[in-house]
Amino acid sequence: MLGQGHSGRRTPAGGLGARTCGRSRISTRGRWIVDANGDRFKLRSGNWHGASGTWNGSGSTGEDANHHAGENSGRIPLGLDRAPMAEIIAGFQEIGINSIRLPFSNEMIHDTVPVTDDAVAANPSLRAKTPLEVYDAVVRELTAAGLAVILNNHTNTTRWCCGVDGNERWNASQSTGTWENDWLFMARRYKDNQRVVGADLYNEVRRNVWDDPNWGLGDNHDWFAASQRVGDRILTEADPDLLIIVEGINWTGIPVDGLPHERPTLEPVGRLSHTLVDSGKLVYSAHFYDYTGPNHSGATGTGETSDPRYRDLTSAELIDVLNRQAFFVTAEQDQHFTSPVWISEFGVGGRDETGGKQRAWFQNFVDQLIRTDADFAYWPLVGWHEGRKGNGWALLHWDAAGDRMGLYDGDDWRAAAWTRLIGAQGRTGRVDPVTNWSMLSPDHGDFVASRRMRALPDWDLGARKAVCPDGQRLLGLSHTGNRGLCSDVSTVLDAVGGHEVVVDERHVTPGQDWASGYTKLQCPAGHFLTGHSVRGSAVSAALCAEAPSGSIPGTTGRTVWFDRGDNRGSAPKGGDFAHGHYKGQCADDEYAAGIAFTGRVGSARTPDALYCRTLR
């Protein structure tokens, strides 16, 4: 039944109501998410939590008091004991939601214990089902109602997140292999449902008792490498249509004054970004709450430091911090990291939240979301209430009798800000295809972003190999550090024939020595440079792909030296793809046809020059 104060189904002024994502799945073009027709599809999302667990980790799981805020989800999305699923979903549509972030735990996938009758009291058709079978039903009903669903691996174990709880990393309470296999299982499970659109790989990666996660060190705690690998596996082995959503690092360091500690969020992306096998599938995400801060864990008491929380910042200070930590990814165009950013969690207390700083923070944060035309997901959508009292953070609450307390009942101070957010005028309509800029980072192993080359045998056994995504060409290299830059700027160069691995100077034309005294690995005529390999820091081979006939002309070009400083032109695009290292880059209307290096005494055989030729 609908609760007191409910005035029927409504859409806030300027809202989108139950807008769907169209007839097929979504992808990205630069900083925008688009539907199958190339039109902007803004994620106006909410989190329907519960399937990842609400148990606090001590005491009986059957006692509500041992669950977060006393809300016992029963190992399934919260509220199914209190309201029919159709009513809950109608509530989402009423407040303007078009997509749902649906958390799950790895334990939930393998849990064979049926849910209790009490947990699904308002949905008797779900009795005797396992948590995964209930999750299936929720996905089915959400998408049937026209809502897009993003699968979110929230925790390893089915318990409340997010402290030092065994869920700090994707492999905190399980192996990385189990985590990857579970993702392949889930992606395949919903592959045929065209409104299951995203894989949100893991929630709030953070420090455990002994160690920090990192972004690019190549060890067992390397979140960049783990998310890169599982993202590619999902696209190549399970479902090529899913968005791959990578959250930044939530916390590193020990939260004690005088010791290093911070919330890196997406700042590392500026120096090291993902390149998936399919361009147009990467989305970054970040979380922001008033009680946390750029150097504040959010704790009260143990773990609390003197650092400011986000709510302590002025509006100008907050904007500056938010842009630095996340929004630069969308604001800066034509960079290797340019992608959509989904603020997949933000929220604040409702009716009983009287704190001036908390309320001001929410208003300021909503302003930032509107100003940046950002994709977002409120946390949480569903909660409990008794006598209009309870946790209060949710936008929709149900009591034990099934009476609903809604955002638009007239007494929730958040309603005006939410209406502004849902109804904000942002970009709509067609988004034209954009130039892709992609970083190659064979720092600790192979970095092959080409589907074509992945399907072929190892072309330089024992070396670390880096290959551009199909349709892109190598345009830049770093003198040291092994990084590369790929793009499809000016034209898409799809390989039409075979490839050649070049390890000597056999294709250097007599009389056209473009790097005298240096070893030159030059592509044959009609080929372009699409990858390279290294052993240690030394160049091992150049990978050349055959271009369509007539698409790359001639045999002359220019030498771009970068052994003594950057040489990337006056206004290079793509961004700093090898921070702290000298870099060379061909112009936008060129392609790279060769790499030069020297083996003389004192040299490490690292790249010194590129041979750049003009397109057409």
Cα torsion through 9, 14, 17, 21, rounded to 10: 180
Cβ proximity of 247 and 200 under 8 Å: yes
Residues 503 and 555 sit within 8 Å (Cβ to Cβ)? no
At 85-118, the pLDDT tens digits run 999 999 999 999 999 999 999 999 999 999 999 9
Q: Is the pLDDT of residue 20 over 50?
A: no
pLDDT of residue 53 exceeding 70: yes
Report the half-sphere exposure of 514 (CA within 13 A, side-chain side).
Answer: 27
pLDDT value, residue 299? 94
The mean per-residue pLDDT over the stretch 372-380 comes to 98
Sheet holding 484-487, edge to edge: 437-440, 484-487, 473-478, 583-585
Q: How far is it, in rounded angstroms, from Cα 11 to Cα 17?
A: 5
Q: Tell me the C-alpha distance between 342 and 28, whole Å.
A: 12
pLDDT at 77 over 80: yes
23-37, 107-121, 354-368, 426-440: range with lowest mean pLDDT: 23-37
The CA distances from residue 530 to 80, 435, 482, in Å, are 53, 17, 14
Name the residue with tokens 């709450």.
289
Residue 312: strand, helix, or coil: helix
Calculate ∠ Cα 135-66-348, nearest 5°. 70
Report residue 425 as tokens.
């005028």
- Digit-coded pLDDT (tens) for 195-219: 999 999 999 999 999 999 999 999 9
The residues, ordered by sequence, that sit 6+ positions from 325 with a Cβ below 8 Å of its Cβ are: 248, 263, 264, 265, 266, 267, 286, 294
Q: Tell me which amino acid residue 451 is.
A: R
Looking at residue 67, its pLDDT comes to: 97
Cα-based distances in Å from 49 to 20, 104, 153, 511 = 21, 8, 11, 68
**Tokens found for residue 279:** 């361009």
Amino acid in the structure at residue 107: E
- In the chain, pLDDT over 90 holds for what percent of residues? 91
| pLDDT (0 to 100) of residue 442 | 98
Read out DSSP for 442-510? -SSS-EE--HHHHTS--SSTTSEEEEPPTB-EEEEEESSS--EEEE-SSS-B---S-EEEE-SSTTPPT
How many C-alpha atoms does 237 have within 13 Å on its Cβ side? 14
Name residues whose C-beta falls within 8 Å of residue 610's C-beta, 6 or more positions apart in sequence: 476, 477, 559, 560, 562, 584, 585, 586, 592, 594, 595, 596
Nearest of 549, 530, 542 to residue 616 by alpha carbon:
549
Measured in whole angstroms, the distance separating CA 144 from the mean position of its chain's CA atoms is: 25
Which pLDDT does position 24 carry in this prediction?
Answer: 47
Query: Judging by DSSP bridges, how do beta strands 282-287 and 558-561 pair with one another?
Result: unpaired
- Please tell me the predicted confidence (pLDDT) of residue 552: 86
| Strand order through the sheet with 519-522 | 519-522, 590-597, 609-614, 558-561
Average pLDDT, stretch 601-616? 92
* Percent share of the chain, pLDDT over 70: 96
pLDDT-derived band at 15 (thresholds 50, 70, 90) equals very low
For tokens 């911070």, name the residue: 262
CB-based burial label for 570 (10 Å; 0-12, 13-18, 19+): exposed
Say yes or no to pLDDT of 6 above 60: no
Quote the CA–CA distance of 52 and 68 in Å, as a whole number.
Answer: 12
Average pLDDT, the chain: 94
Instruction: Provide the pLDDT confidence category of residue 599 given band limits of 50, 70 and 90.
Output: confident
Dihedral of CA atoms 280, 343, 323, 42 in degrees, nearest 10, equals 50
Given this model, what pLDDT does residue 497 score? 82
The mean pLDDT of 486-506, rounded to a whole number, is 93
Separation between Cα atoms, residue 303 and residue 346, nearest integer Å: 21
Domains of the chain: 27-423 (3.20.20.80), 437-614 (no CATH)
Phi/psi of residue 277, nearest 5 degrees:
-65, -20
| pLDDT above 60: residue 291 | yes
**Strand residue runs (E) in 281-368:** 282-287, 341-346
Checking if the pLDDT of 13 tops 50, the result is no
Helices vs. strands in the chain: H and E counts, helices first? 10, 29
Q: Are 33 and 375 in contact (CB under 8 A)?
A: yes
Contact 179, 203 (CB under 8 A): no
Whether 7 has a pLDDT exceeding 70, the answer reads no
- 346, 379 contact by CB (below 8 A): yes
**Rg of the chain's alpha carbons, rounded to an integer?**
26
Relative to beta strand 583-585, strand 375-378 is: unpaired
